[in-house]
Structure 1
Amino acid sequence: MAEKKAFVLRVSPEMLKELEKWAQEDFRSVNGQIEYLLSEALKKRKRAGGKGKE
């Protein structure tokens, strides 16, 4: 597995609460949920022919 890089993400308390709820529903950690959502967004962007196809 590729090495992962840590970084700080600032979100509002309301957004964090919703992410925690969503992650729990999907049986993921909040970090795992955010990673999943970003991965899906990148896949969607590539399928749509968006910039960043490198």
Structure 2
Amino acid sequence: MASKKSFPLRLDPILYQALERWAADEFRSVNGHIEYLLREALRREGRLPSPHGLRREEEEKDAD
């Protein structure tokens, strides 16, 4: 398993409570849910490498 980077994160208490409820609804820890949300946002924006190691922009450029 790859190691993970740890860092402190300060959140507004109301935001944390909302994340806590949402994470519980999805059967995830708050930390796991934050990581899931960030990964999904990055994926949607094409900022995560694709399974082939290419970013979305590179794939689109290759398609031209």
Report the TM-score, using the length of structure 2 for normalisation. Answer: 0.70
Report the TM-score, using the length of structure 1 for normalisation. Answer: 0.83
Q: Which runs of 5+ in 2 are unaligned?
A: 48-54, 56-64
Structure 1 or 2, whichever has the larger Rg, is: 2
Higher relative contact order (Cα pairs below 8 Å, separated by 6+ residues): 1
CA distance in 2, matches of 1:38, 1:7: 15
Shift of 1:41: 0.6
Structure 2 residue matching 1:28: 3-state secondary structure: coil
Q: Which runs of 5+ in 1 are unaligned?
A: 48-52
Percent identity (aligned): 56
Shift of 1:2: 1.3
Shift of 1:13: 0.4
Q: Which ranges of 4 or more aligned residues in structure 1 deviate by more than 6 Å?
A: none
What is the number of residues matched between the two proteins?
A: 49
Say what the alpha-carbon RMSD is for the aligned residues: 1.8
Q: How does 1:10-21 map to 2 (within 5 A)?
A: 10-21=10-21
